[in-house]
Amino acid sequence: MAAYTLILILGDQLSFDISSLRGTDPSTSVILMGEVAAEADYVWHHRKKLAFVFSAMRHHADALRAAGWTVDYIKLDDPPNSGSLRGEVSRALIRHGAERIVVTEAGEWRLREEMAGWAAAIAVPVEVRPDDRFFASDADFTAWAEGRKALRMEYFYRQMRRATGLLMEGDDPAGGRWNFDAENRKPAARDLLMPRPRQIAPDSVTEDVLAMVAARFPDRFGSLDDFWFAVTAEDAEAQFDAFVADALPRFGDYQDAMLAGEPWLYHSVIALYLNIGLLDPRAVCWRVDAAWRAGDVPINAAEGFIRQILGWREYVRGIYWREGPDYAQRNALDARHPLPDFYWSADTDMACVRACVEQTRDTAYAHHIQRLMVTGNFALLAGIDPHALHLWYLAVYADAYEWVELPNTVGMSQFADGGLLASKPYAASGAYIDRMSDYCRGCRYDVKAKAGSGACPFNRLYWPFLIRHRDRLANNPRMTPMYRTLARWDAARQAALVADGAACLAELGIEKG
């Protein structure tokens, strides 16, 4: 019998429990999966991210076939590949004589808007189903946000704890507190025994993909060496199990720590799997809840970890869809400097930035504090255009998808939404990085010096940032101590700080764009 439903599965929809597969009969449907140039090129994805996505797509196609589905899989280098999802859908409709298309909604405004035009252009009905691989639906988030003056994550998170029962003891939060962050700020010591994520050796499918990506994208950012990411659900689960056993108990303690040469510390490295569907966020959180109830992990670790997924991940998604496509253009602090070349080359004397960019180039990974307090903090202090920075973050991490990356960049890291997401800018001088890492020891700049060409650039840019944004930030209660300090300094001293900040930018090669 001719197949009459074409089910399109996108590269970040690699879950068996995806809405597009529900209620559709494998005997009268064909699944289309396509590696297409348009998705590989709309941003300069890291080469490890490309290899990860394509290899995971190919493995998922095999798993779907093994489960009885017919899968029409288009490889990037298949000669007739049209290069776009629309083009591949059109070709597949003719090939299979399909009469309708079913697809789960895309995780990005760009593609959602494009798909909205498909039905008219393709002349068969296109059924777009909600993506329900999350704790909260769009309607849940809208209901929570309705009528609130400030959309703070902490309150959303508490509601989610109550709604799900995760880490709850009756009506009370486990351990008597909602948030154990105060205990989660230990700097890591060099002699700690660091667990390594379980590594998966590339199989022949991954080897083929690595060769294809190397040949097709020779000039793209990012190393393809030492590829060890899981590319199947089974291996992603095995990596997560190893994290729960080896690293989760200390996740909370060292969540904010940074050490040169130690990219993973006690982090899970699962965002890449969650974001393409190889791991389910609900299963992950309940597994951690169970580990806490069994006494295997302390509450500060379990709570800290679950908050990132049940709280932050769900919350930023809600913000992304609520704020609309224009959110990408926000620039409340009017930051206009172009992204410095060293975000790609790592060619900078700032040891912290160099370490984070080199690690990003080699692994397509950096943990949250490296993203927020090193590369993000520097861009904030230096007044880098948030949109240029957004394109960088979207490109360079294996876990980067716009719905999660954009609010983290524009809102949390750059305060470019004027404080919708963050209650204060995450701006910090070198002292913070010195306290939480060992980067400063190997740096040519002096983290204790405040001004002059030998001083830490984070210090030189910090006060000029506060002076520049005094009108907007001075009344923010969380900024009061800093502005009180500033108020004690006379106009000449403040002018000297501003001049030194400008000199610092010039020395770093950062000029007005």
Per-residue binder mask for ligand FAD (CB under 6 A), 397-426, x = binder = x-xxx--xx--xx--xx-------------
Which of residues 327 and 463 has its CB atom nearest to ligand FAD in the complex? 327
Q: Which of 144, 240, 445, 465 binds ligand SF4 (CB under 6 A)?
A: 445
Q: How far apart are CA 245 and CA 165, in angstroms?
A: 23
Spatial distance between the Cα atoms of 490 and 486, rounded to a whole number of angstroms: 8
User: Taken in order 472, 330, 361, 241, is the CA torsion positive or negative?
Assistant: positive
Residue 343 or residue 458: which is nearer to ligand SF4 going by CB? 458
Over the window 366 to 395, marking each residue x when it contacts ligand FAD by CB under 6 A and - when it does not, the resulting string is -xx--xx---x----------------x--
Rounded to a whole number of angstroms, the minimum distance from the CB of residue 354 to ligand SF4 is 8
| 39 part of the interface to ligand DLZ, by CB under 6 A | yes
**Contacts with ligand FAD in 122-161 (CB under 6 A)?**
none
Residues 243-262 that bind ligand DLZ (CB under 6 A): none
Closer CB to ligand SF4, residue 277 or residue 457?
Answer: 457
CA-to-CA distance for 130 and 138, rounded, in angstroms? 9
Question: Going residue by residue from 110 to 129, which x/- string records binding to ligand DLZ, judged by CB under 6 A?
Answer: -x------------------
Among 12, 253, 289, 303, binds ligand DLZ (CB under 6 A): 12
Q: How far apart are alpha carbons 357 and 355 in whole angstroms? A: 6
Partner that binds at residue 12, options ligand SF4, ligand FAD, ligand DLZ, none, CB closer than 5 to 8 Å by kind: ligand DLZ
Which partner from the list ligand DLZ, ligand FAD, ligand SF4, none does 350 bind, CB cut-off 5 to 8 Å by kind? ligand SF4
Residue found by looking up tokens 């970040």 in the block: 12
SS3 for 8? strand
**Of 28-36, 172-180, 295-303, 436-444, which part binds ligand DLZ (CB under 6 A)?**
28-36
Q: From the CA atom positions of the chain, what is the Rg in Å? A: 24
CB of 396 to ligand DLZ, least distance (A): 13
43 binds ligand FAD (CB under 6 A): no
284 binds, among ligand DLZ, ligand SF4, ligand FAD, none (CB under 5 to 8 A by kind): none
Residue nearer to ligand SF4 on the CB measure, 297 or 350 = 350
**Cβ 48 to ligand SF4 shortest distance, Å:** 25
CA distance 440 to 430: 8
Q: Which residues pair with 126 in a beta bridge?
A: 101
* Count of C-beta atoms within a 10 Å radius of residue 5: 19
Nearest alpha-carbon partner for 54 in 202, 153, 200: 202
Query: What phi and psi, each to the nearest 5 degrees, are found at residue 169?
Result: -120, 95
Task: Point out which residues pair with 169 in neighbouring strands.
Answer: 172
DSSP string, 437-467: -SGGGG-SSBTT--SSTTB-HHHHHHHHHHH
- For the beta carbon of residue 246, count every other beta carbon within 10 angstroms: 16
Q: How many residues bind ligand FAD (CB under 6 A)?
A: 29
- Chosen from ligand FAD, ligand SF4, ligand DLZ, none, partner binding at 458 (C-beta under 5 to 8 Å by type): ligand SF4
Closest by Cα among 129, 132, 109, 135 to 314:
135
**344: its two tokens:** 């790609």
Q: What's the CA gap between 476 and 458, in Å, rounded? A: 22
| CA separation for the pair 427, 425 (Å, rounded) | 5
Query: Rule CB under 6 A: which of 301-360 touch ligand FAD?
Result: 305, 308-309, 312-313, 316
Q: Which is nearer to ligand DLZ, 237 or 405 (CB)?
A: 405
Rounded to an integer, what distance in angstroms lies between the CA atom of residue 192 and that of residue 77? 46
Q: How many CB atoms lie within 10 A of CB 491?
A: 7
> Counting contacts by CB under 6 A, is residue 343 touching ligand SF4?
no
Show the beta-strand stretches assigned E in 251-380: none
Q: Tell me, residue by residue from 443 to 482, as one string, x for binding to ligand DLZ by CB under 6 A and - for no binding.
A: ----------------------------------------
Q: Are 413 and 368 in contact (CB under 8 A)?
A: no
84 to 113, contacts with ligand DLZ by CB under 6 A? 106-108, 111
The residue with its CB nearest to ligand DLZ is: 11
Find tokens 């993973």 and name the residue: 264
In angstroms, the CA 395 to CA 111 distance is 16
List residues near ligand SF4 by CB under 6 A: 350-352, 430, 433-434, 439-440, 443, 445, 447, 456-458
Which residues contribute to the site for ligand DLZ (CB under 6 A)? Answer: 10-12, 34-36, 39-40, 45, 50, 53, 106-108, 111, 401
Which residues lie near ligand FAD (CB under 6 A)? 267-271, 274-275, 305, 308-309, 312-313, 316, 367-368, 371-372, 376, 393, 397, 399-401, 404-405, 408-409, 412-413
